[in-house]
């Protein structure tokens, strides 16, 4: 995504309602900085994220997609994030197999107490994606403005 001449990657962050979204909130309350081009989408649990959502995000112009959920063992629904972990392991491995840059996708576990981790993760991920430049391999030209 091009923002006012200077390139800023668009990051879509799926955050589960119970841990990671609260973690993002805490980052905000603590006035910790993270890039404003990270767009958070709240989901009930990380396992709500269907592989199609990830691809859709790329289609609509995301340059990087990150999933955040409760730490393994801490999922509000007991085991949701264990399924997320398997699904995303396979999906990301497949994307890599198709030659799509592996730095564009990530899963990170962030608890409600980890505001600092949330901000640091987003800073770091945004930087990594910025280094790759725009997403060309999974983009949909029709969605370009």
**Binding footprint of ligand FES on the chain (CB under 6 A):** 16, 18-19, 45-46, 69-70, 75-77, 80-81
Q: Pinpoint the alpha helices (H) of the chain.
A: 20-29, 51-59, 80-97, 115-132
Choice between 37 and 81, CB closer to ligand FES? 81
Residue 137 phi, psi dihedral angles, 5° rounding? -85, -20
4-34 CB burial, b ≥16 within 10 A, e <16: eeeebbbbbbbbbbbbbbbbbebbeeeebeb
Given ligand FES, other proteins, none, residue 18, with its beta carbon under 5 to 8 Å by kind, binds ligand FES
Nearer Cβ to other proteins (26/46): 46
Contact map string, positions 91 to 110, toward other proteins, x by CB under 8 A = xxxxxxxxxxxx--xxx---
| Of residues 37 and 46, the one with the C-beta less far from ligand FES | 46
Site for other proteins in 36-65 (CB under 8 A): 51-52, 55, 58-59
Residues 6+ apart with CB under 8 A from 127: none
Whole-number Å distance between alpha carbons of 27 and 41: 16
What does the binding site for other proteins look like in residue numbers (CB under 8 A)?
A: 51-52, 55, 58-59, 72-73, 79, 82-83, 85-102, 105-107, 137-142
């Amino acid at each position: 995504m091009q923002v006012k001449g200077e390139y800023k990657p668009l990051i879509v962050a799926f955050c589960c309602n119970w841990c990671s979204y609260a973690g993002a909130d805490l980052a905000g309350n603590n006035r910790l900085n993270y890039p404003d081009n990270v767009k958070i989408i709240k989901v009930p649990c990380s396992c709500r994220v269907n592989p199609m959502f990830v691809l859709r995000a790329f289609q609509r112009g995301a340059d990087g997609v990150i999933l955040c959920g409760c730490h393994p063992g801490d999922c509000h629904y007991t085991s949701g994030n264990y399924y997320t972990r398997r699904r995303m392991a396979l999906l990301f491995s497949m994307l890599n197999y198709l030659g799509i840059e592996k730095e564009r996708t990530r899963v990170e576990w962030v608890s409600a107490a980890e505001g600092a981790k949330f901000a640091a993760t987003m800073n770091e991920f945004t930087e990594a994606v910025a280094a790759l430049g725009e997403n060309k391999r999974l983009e949909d030209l029709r969605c370009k403005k």
